[in-house]
Structure 1
Amino acid sequence: MNYVTVTYLLNVLVYVMYFFGKGGSETDVTLTDYIVSAVMSLLLILAGYLNAKQDKTYRSALWIFFINALFFVMSGVFDQFGNNFNILSTSGGDSFIFTLALIIYNGYLFPLIVTLDRSGFALVLPVLLSFILPSLGYWIGKVIFSKNSV
């Protein structure tokens, strides 16, 4: 079992339940939002650690990064050529479907995405953290288990 994948699916479930159960505006960010984001980020680090503990390859912790990179690239492509790809984009040229998929798939970053709204970093952040968090946990796990095996 790939723990990073399971954690990302849990992230989507928590995001959907939390977001639709939230009262008020979607741009209101509370302390609870940051706590949920921090807990889910720690779970991603733990998932990378568990992948290393199960002696999985490093690629098992990174394939979520590749999916996020694909969403990001497709978002940029459809944003640039939005009028030519009319079915999958809005009339203003924004790549709505791919951007929405990137944000929902990384729902644990909701408070940071809202805070960084209207900047390009709001879409780069999920891609970077999908690489950094599982990788950090994976390499911590590799170091710990390589010391235990010696």
Structure 2
Amino acid sequence: MDAKLSALIVVGSFHTEVCGQLVKGAIERIKAYNAAAECEVIEVPGALEIPPAISFAVMSDRESYDGFVALGCVLKGYTDHNIHVSNSAFSALSDIAVQHAVPMGTGIITADTMSLAMERADVNGINIGGRAAAAMLRMLELYRRFLG
């Protein structure tokens, strides 16, 4: 891919070991697609703060990105709080992508245990960060085809 590519990766700061793997996988996938790609990583407190951060960037006159990758980890606790957090985050991210027509990939892991989350984040395994980046890249190709 020869076209310029600038990606914003927004990651929740909860569960840093998991999220570090997600970011690594996303960057590796984007760089495999375009070695000259610029990847900016912004940390936010948690999954619920990812959509507003991406929305700020989408609406900004100061920064411009070709695509967005949302990464995070929500683990099950003693209540069903994790369900509400993840549903809210996924819904808001989908709304942003559709309403603003921006290429986005979402890699927010929802898991019952840290072990399961690490299994899904591992760059040598399931690599959800890489999958989210791949989804963003495919949506970027479609964006450029239809709107670019």
Flag the structure with higher strand content. 2
- TM norm. shorter chain > 0.5: no
Flag the structure with higher helix content. 1
State the TM-score, normalizing by the size of structure 2: 0.27
Report the structure number with the largest CA radius of gyration.
Answer: 1
State the TM-score, normalizing by the size of structure 1: 0.27
